[in-house]
Amino acid sequence: MTVFAFGSRELTTGSTSPPALRRPRPGVGETAVHVAGQAGVVVVAVLGYFGARGLTRADPATAERNAGHVVAVERSLHLNAEVPLQGLVIGHPGVTQVLNWVYIFGHWPVIAVTLTWLAIRHRDAFARARNAMLLSGGAGLVVFAAFPVAPPRLAGLPLVDTVTQQSRAYRVLQPPGFTNQYAAMPSLHVGWNLLMTLAVLAVARATWLRALAIALTLSMDATVVLTANHYLVDGVAGAALSVAAWHVAGRRAAGREPAGSPPLAASPARPSATASST
């Protein structure tokens, strides 16, 4: 039996359990190819989602009637607070402008940056977040088609559509041709931002990064209501759908892992010149 010294560690050859191995870090070229390929998959999926979403436009009367059902449910649960909540901010143009920025630039740009970072640094978390988006997006399309809901800004409530009235950038990031005005339930603005937060929390160790991820999703939760784009229950439904998709994607990923695979660990350093044999 031979014992090699590695500073403060020793590796004994001939033992029954083999040393744990580190998965080799991909090179720059391989990483670039991987990111480009995954970006193409995500872009095609997103375009398909918006194209299908645009095809699910509903009759306004049906969407408004369903909105009445949503409001009735909120009243029964004492959650119909959209009007008084917007009343707290609508008289402050600076506040509403910040809310508009969060709604516009805190969604797709944040998703793009987060997925790119995950694809480069944390491929397993990227795959789980991507798959959860696909699952929740598919389920969302079914709901949009079966139960179209007019958002608060179009439901005859005394609310102001701050995004449309105060900003043009939203129409650039999401052209009207890809927009279904009656896709309020569930809110994937809330759900997909939450997915990005879950992915970051799963891999990030820096406190500031984890806090930023939480702040981004909480700010979106508030913004969708304060800008009159979603009801409170829309956000709850979007969050529940995305959390369910996150868990399903995680279980599918776990089921694909080979049984008995060794854990990742630091690869041993080069043996020192001193070795003893027994």
Domain ranges of the chain: 72-255
Work out the average pLDDT over 89-103. Answer: 93
What distance in Å separates the CA atoms of residue 182 and residue 149, rounded to the nearest whole number? 5
How much is the mean pLDDT over the chain? Answer: 79
User: What is the model's pLDDT at position 43?
Assistant: 61
Residue 243 has pLDDT above 80, yes or no: yes
Region of poorest pLDDT, from 31-35, 79-83, 184-188: 31-35
Q: Please tell me the pTM assigned to this model.
A: 0.75
Q: Which two tokens stand for residue 264?
A: 């990742």
User: What is the model's pLDDT at position 252?
Assistant: 77
* Residue 102 near residue 224, CB atoms below 8 Å: no
Nearest C-alpha neighbor of 131 from the set 45, 238, 48: 45
User: What is the model's pLDDT at position 60?
Assistant: 87
The amino acid that residue 100 corresponds to is: N
For residue 132, is it left (φ>0), alpha (ψ between -120 and 50) or beta?
A: alpha
Residue 250 has pLDDT above 60, yes or no: yes
What distance in Å separates the CA atoms of residue 65 and residue 249, rounded to the nearest whole number? 34
Region of poorest pLDDT, from 98-107, 133-142, 168-177, 217-226: 168-177
**Which DSSP category does 213 fall into?**
H
Residue 260 has pLDDT above 50, yes or no: no
CA 181 to chain centroid: 21
CA angle 161, 166, 172 (to 5 degrees): 95
Nearest C-alpha neighbor of 152 from the set 86, 56, 61: 86
- Tens digits of per-residue pLDDT, 58-87? 688 999 999 999 999 999 999 999 999 999
Residue 4 has pLDDT above 90, yes or no: no
Helix axes 108-121 and 28-55, enclosed angle (nearest 10): 150
For residue 14, is it left (φ>0), alpha (ψ between -120 and 50) or beta?
A: left
User: What is the model's pLDDT at position 21?
Assistant: 46
DSSP helix/strand/coil, 238:
helix
